[in-house]
Amino acid sequence: MNIIFLGPPGAGKGTQAQLLTKELGIPQISTGDMLRKAMREGTKTGLEAKRYVESGGLVPDEVVIAIVRERLAEDDCKNGYMLDGFPRTVPQAEELAKFAHIDVAVDLDLPDDVIVHRLSGRRVCPGCNATYHISQLGGSDKCPNCGETLIQRKDDSEETIRNRLKVYQEQTAPLVDYYKGKGILRVVPCTGTVEENFALVKKALEA
Ligand code: AMP
């Protein structure tokens, strides 16, 4: 099954996709993770992406489309994949449709006021990519999964979060209607716990 995760930043796309990877055995393809890796490694794509990612803006369509097209051609995508954070604009979705068949688009729905709270308290593990909220960590800065020191993403500062939400409303939210029009949209309210939300995601995929 080829799945897209839609939803505002902080809705839990990465977390839900990670859980689903374990359940379905298909890869999670996160353009945000790929861009951050390219930035760490200082590749041409990384250097090009840096200023957009750090300000909370969107990296130009042609840059992300190229990395997704390349990634989907790899062997581990033959039996399905989950796209997390792509597409983010209607032109990206239109381009994707030319080289991939998407079975279902899951829209993780979350009210705006919860998002800033979630993202400003988010910590990520540079070792295993797990994501936590500070309220889960009991004051520790170590990853409960692998022991690495957790970090705060640069773009999880309050000012950048507000910009990312604005960008989401303007450029990404129209994708909800786009996939509704294609008849493959499933909306999942994500205000519960990670486990509760995961149960709803699985139900939506079974429907
Ligand atoms: P994420 O980890 O999905 O929140 O993405 C972090 C940042 O990477 C975003 O704020 C954008 O700057 C960039 N990014 C990730 N995916 C895309 C995409 N599909 N199109 C444009 N920019 C993207």
Give me the mean pLDDT over the 135-159 stretch.
93
Give the pLDDT confidence of 15-31 residue by residue, as tens digits. Answer: 999 999 999 999 999 99
Is it the case that residue 204 has pLDDT exceeding 90? yes
What is the structure's pLDDT at 159?
Answer: 85
Is it the case that residue 113 has pLDDT exceeding 90? no
What is the structure's pLDDT at 154?
Answer: 87
Catalytic residue list contains 153: yes
**Alpha carbon of 167 to ligand 1 centroid (Å):** 10
Give residues (CB < 6 A) around ligand 1: 9, 31-32, 35, 52-53, 56-59, 64, 85-88, 92, 155, 164
What is the structure's pLDDT at 180?
Answer: 97
Given the residues 36, 123, 164, 186, select the one marked as catalytic: 164
What angle do the packed helices 44-55 and 61-72 form, to 10 degrees?
120
Give residue 143's pLDDT band: very low, low, confident or very high (50, 70, 90): very high
Runs of H (alpha helix) within the chain: 13-24, 31-41, 44-55, 61-72, 90-99, 112-120, 158-167, 174-181, 194-206
Is it the case that residue 152 has pLDDT exceeding 90? yes
Dihedral sign computed on CA atoms, order 190, 149, 125, 199 = negative
Catalytic residue list contains 36: no
What is the structure's pLDDT at 162?
Answer: 87
φ/ψ (deg, to 5) at 91: -60, -35
Is it the case that residue 10 has pLDDT exceeding 90? no
Domains and CATH numbers, the chain: 2-26+79-206 (3.40.50.300)
Give the pLDDT confidence of 60-104 residue by residue, as tens digits. Answer: 999 999 999 999 999 999 999 999 999 999 999 999 999 999 999
At residue 42, the 3 state secondary structure works out as coil
**Alpha carbon of 30 to ligand 1 centroid (Å):** 9
Structure tokens of 44? 């041409």
Catalytic residue list contains 186: no
**Alpha carbon of 202 to ligand 1 centroid (Å):** 25
Is the separation of the CB atoms in 161 and 56 below 8 Å? yes
Dihedral sign computed on CA atoms, order 88, 111, 15, 6 = negative
Cα separation, 207 vs 205, whole angstroms: 6
What is the structure's pLDDT at 95?
Answer: 98
Q: What is the separation, in whole angstroms, between the first and last Cα of the chain? A: 13
- The CB density around residue 23, as the number of other CB atoms within 10 Å, is 11
Give residue 157's pLDDT band: very low, low, confident or very high (50, 70, 90): confident
Is the separation of the CB atoms in 24 and 80 below 8 Å? yes
